[in-house]
Structure 1
Amino acid sequence: GKLIVLLFGINYKLAVVIVGALMMIYVAFGGMTATTWVQIIKAVLMLFGASLMTFLVLKGFNFNIDFMLEKAVEIHRDGRHILAPGQSLISNPINALSLGLALALGTAGLPHILMRFFTVANAQEARKSVIWASTFIGYFYLLTFIIGFGAIWYLSQNPELFNRGPDGSFDLIKDLIGGTNMVAVHLANAVGGELLLGFLAAVTFATIVAVVAGLSLAGAAAISHDLYDNVIAKGNVTEAQKMRISRLSTVALGILAILLGIVFENQNVAFMVGLAFAIAASSNFPVLVLSISWRGCTTRGATLGGFIGLFTATAWVVLSSTVWVDEFGFAEAITPFPNPGILSIPLAFISIWFFSITDKSANAATEKAAFDALSVRAQTGIGVSKAEAH
């Protein structure tokens, strides 16, 4: 939404509705094939754009990283503190540790990441995919180091990118046009002019399309296949019915996303990403780990433990200063720090363990007896279902 506002000058709410509608149409009629292709194209363009922008940033500093860091320290209001691991690591170490746990463990529990493993032919290709993806992700993260510190200097030399006061002064962080989420877009304009700005804006929009499409598809698949097919209809459902439920789910999730996008207009993207990782690490990750590695895990334990982790993480964030104070307007937050991982992740593991060992049902005994077969399938890929086209 903010990107559309910056490029076309339209109302933010209208921009969110337009983007949300495009996502719903794309996912509902394109499916997994269309989503996969846009993610492939996005990845190539994003890596190229980030590499080009990094090259131009370094060129402006004569490829001297020390000089770039000196200029960033000179300009930034926090001075040399920006070179430290992070002020939150010292001022609020528990919150920093909590965020670190969520980012480290949450990746393995993100549903739109997990479902990519079902788009390849076999387990061997899935493992290759992980290696290639990790390589490209690591390379991109190295580029963000240069882009971030370079942006401090370049943006400060372009006051037209800020909302300035009557005397022409501006704050490097608070007054950036479009908010802090638009740093990379403005940096592209500063180092490459309107040509690079247009290219990066297109890449950013493609990235939004790819990510939202993947999330929407993961949610729709969970509702139509896991919930409706297996739980509600008990397998008595046709492909046409599943497709209809999937498309209706896409529309419903799209509307919910639009409403949340409007409510959380001014939230920093980095925090929202951390929130998603915290929820994944608190609900999906414990279930995956224990169901693969522990013979005693049962369906009852996994279900209740996953829900407890999900509820704890969500409730904690809602009651934190980020939502309870900044969005709802209350004077003081109920929870002491915003990131819930340090509490919700162990609680999910403990809950799965407890509800599994107390499950004495016949289904629990059957599931425990089937653990060896599941372990062989998980480690070797023998017996897994074939890849399907969607």
Structure 2
Amino acid sequence: MTTEHQTLALILFSLFIAVTLGITTWVSRNRHGSAEEFYAGGRLFSPMENGFAIAGDYMSAASFLGISGLIALFGYDGLLYSVGFLVAWLVVLFLVAELVRNCGRFTLADVVAARMSERPVRIAAGTSSVVVSVLYLIAQMVGAGSLVGLLLGSSGPVARTLTVVGVGALMVVYVSFGGMRATTWIQIVKAVLLMGGAITLTVLVLLRFHGNFDQLLTSAADRSGHGRAFLSPGLKYGGDWTARIDFMSLGLALVLGTAGLPHILSRFYTVPTARAARRSVVWAIALIGGFYLMTIVLGFGAAALVGPDEVRASNASGNTAVPLLAAFLGGGAGSTGGAVLFAFVAAIAFATILAVVAGITLASSASVAHDLYASLKRRHARQRSEVAVARVAAVGIGAVAIALGLLAQNLNVAFLVGLAFAVAASANLPVLLYSLFWRGFTTRGAVWSVYGGLIPAVLLVLVSPVVSGSAESLFPGVDFQYFPLQNPGIVSIPLGFLAGWLGTVTSREEPDEAKHAETEVRSLTGAGAV
């Protein structure tokens, strides 16, 4: 990229940082420091505002950079991410949104512990939430590193390290000083910018092909070097039976994982009622659906106009396909139009990363303070003490995410998010559904369900090709690969459900029928909801 590209992109990004820091400062002067204010923004947001914030929280660097990059490199096989991320919201809408809002206060553990022995359940659910959040944060850090490498014309470790550390520092500031209210407004601003940028690029791509999507696909297939195979399953997930099972495993994780993501569940607590939570999801689905349809156009547009070889030369995982496409559509590298459009898209991508990491960090720090700290140290801690712990936890979680994000810089961000979804679907979704819908579910079943999904999911990733055994692994020089699939979802998700069932049927604990009845009425009607 030219100096003109770099300077303009940095100016726009600096402007976004200034605006978001201004929002954080303004919000921090108008809050009273309660847990409800810090974790849920006082529950004062409207369904439309929360819907935009949910969309801003969900449409991450994986969506904007990773999915389009995978489509540009692998064609049809990259589409699974767009479809899976969107279809997942039907599970959220019909099974989760209203019930979670009625039963919980701030975290997933609030819902699960409503009728269980609180301490062990909170520790298990809190631990799982932190693990999922850190995995998701790693993907955002990888996106930040890829983007700065393109922006500064350098993929060296110093530039990436400084960028990842800078993003980590900003997310800690947003969360520590602004809490949920600042995070929400940052996500709303980011959602508007991201939709505007995606619409602009999509229109420009379609204009290049006179609105003919079939012509776009044909050009992408021809430029890919694979011909019509580019538009058929198999380039990434079709080599053998292992690849096909991996494809199914990824699809299962994407469809079921959203309903177990802590930072998505926490958004349902920012509106006053369950009806408002449901309407928020409807708003979010409309925005998210439109966006993921546009990522398909952008991915094939990058393949047709930029070319997979140039995308791969810039970033082996395809994370820079959209910025390269923007520069091309503006007139090419070195042109004024290319510089402006590239800078605009790069700034939006940075904004996307910052907004998402703020939401994830807030959700994970809430789990540390509200679930783990309150259970392990001071179960009846005062709200101000709990909020103080959450702020400190944000710093620690940020440090861990920075370190792991630097380690995983060579992986595709959408792929990393797929791993986070697999862990969320394995550890969080089974215990959530059992708690809401199974009258006989017990404390042992809840704890076993969480750990029975979490531990296998993490262990299978550690002994998979993701970590060792191939040139694309985190540690390419060693080989302790024993599990052939890259995504563990097809194994670990059933194990989570099985462990919950087994723990319950072998437990001597008598289910509390009265508590279940109370929870059922509360979840369905909202009576007694906070």
With normalisation by structure 2, the TM-score equals 0.67
User: What is the number of equivalent residue pairs in this alignment?
Assistant: 368
* 1:57 is aligned to 2:205: yes
Please give the residue correspondences for 1:113-152 in structure 2 after superposition, counting only pairs within 5 Å. 113-152=264-303
Q: CA deviation at 1:376?
A: 1.5
1:110-189 residue pairs with structure 2 within 5 A?
110-156=261-307, 171-177=309-315, 180-189=318-327
Is the Cα–Cα contact under 8 Å of residues 261 and 424 in structure 2 kept in the other structure? Answer: yes
The equivalent position to 2:418 in structure 1, one of 274, 277, 281, is 274
How far apart in 2 are the matches of 1:88 and 1:15? 30
Specify which of 264, 269, 290 is matched with residue 408 of structure 2: 264
Distance 2:418 2:315 in 1: 24
Cα distance in structure 1, aligned partners of 2:317 and 2:438: 46
Quote the residue 1:327 is aligned against: 474
User: Contact 2:463 / 2:480 at 8 angstroms: preserved in 1?
Assistant: no
- Is residue 102 from structure 1 mapped to residue 250 from structure 2 by the alignment? no
Contact kept in structure 1, 2:311 and 2:318, CA below 8 Å: yes
Distance 2:460 2:230 in 1: 29
Q: Which amino acid aligns with 1:27?
A: V
**Distance in 2 of aligned mates of 1:225 and 1:216:** 14
- 1:14 Cα deviation after fit: 1.8
**What residue identity is the alignment partner of 2:262?**
P
1:244 aligns with 2:391: no
Percent identity, please. Answer: 46
CA offset at residue 380 of structure 1? 2.0
Alignment partners' CA distance in 1, 2:310 and 2:433: 43
CA shift for structure 1 position 239? 2.0
1:179, distance to aligned residue in structure 2 (A): 5.1
- Rounded Cα–Cα distance in structure 2 between residues aligned with 1:125 and 1:229: 29
Q: How much does 1:191 deviate?
A: 0.8
Aligned AA (1:314):
V
Q: 1:358 to 1:369 in 2, by over 3 A?
A: farther
- Tell whether 2:219 aligns with 1:71: yes
- Structure 2, unmatched stretches of 5+, are 1-144, 331-337
Q: What is the CA deviation profile of residues 23-69 of structure 1, one whole-angstrom value per residue up to 9, with x for unaligned ones?
A: 11221111101110011111111111101100001111111111111
Aligned partner of 1:365 among 501, 508, 511: 511
Distance in 2, matches of 1:74 and 1:86, equals 17
Checking the alignment, whether the CA contact within 8 Å between 1:17 and 1:258 is kept in structure 2 is yes
Q: Tell me if structure 2 keeps the 8 A contact 1:2–1:178.
A: no
2:186 to 38, 45, 49: 38
Q: Could you say which residue in structure 2 is the equivalent of 1:344?
A: 492
CA contact (8 A) 1:5 1:15 kept: no
CA distance in 1, matches of 2:451, 2:363: 18
Query: Structure 1 counterpart of 2:224, which letter?
Result: H
Q: Which residue of 2 aligns with 1:24?
A: 172
The offset of 1:82, in angstroms, is 1.8
Paired with 2:496 and 2:303, the residues of 1 have a C-alpha distance of: 40
User: Whole-Å Cα distance in 1 between the matches of residues 443 and 311 of structure 2?
Assistant: 48
Shift of 1:105: 0.3
For structure 1, the residue ranges without an aligned partner over 5 or more in a row are 157-169, 386-390
Cα shift at 1:365? 3.0
Q: Which runs of 4+ in 1 moved over 6 A?
A: none
Instruction: Give how far 1:176 is off.
Output: 2.1
Higher alpha-carbon deviation: 99-108 or 323-332: 323-332
Q: Does 1:12 align with 2:160?
A: yes
Shift of the alpha carbon at 1:189?
1.1
1:80 and 2:228 aligned: yes
CA–CA distance in structure 1, aligned partners of residues 479 and 529 of structure 2: 53
SS in 1 for 2:216: helix
What is the CA-CA distance between 1:320 and the residue it aligns to? 0.6
Contact 2:317 2:411 survives alignment (8 Å):
no
User: Is the partner of 2:313 in helix, strand or coil?
Assistant: coil
Q: C-alpha separation between the residues in 2 aligned to 1:174 and 1:52?
A: 24
1:190 to 316, 319, 328: 328
Q: Which residue of the partner structure matches residue 216 of structure 1? A: 361
Give TM-score scaled by structure 1 length: 0.90
CA distance in 2, matches of 1:306, 1:78: 43
Could you tell me how far apart the structure 2 residues matched to 1:296 and 1:177 are? 51
User: Aligned partner of 2:254: which letter?
Assistant: L
SS of match in other structure, 2:394: helix
What RMSD in Å do the two structures reach over aligned CA positions?
A: 1.7
Give the drift of 1:90.
3.5
Secondary structure of 1:180's partner?
coil
Q: CA deviation at 1:258?
A: 0.3
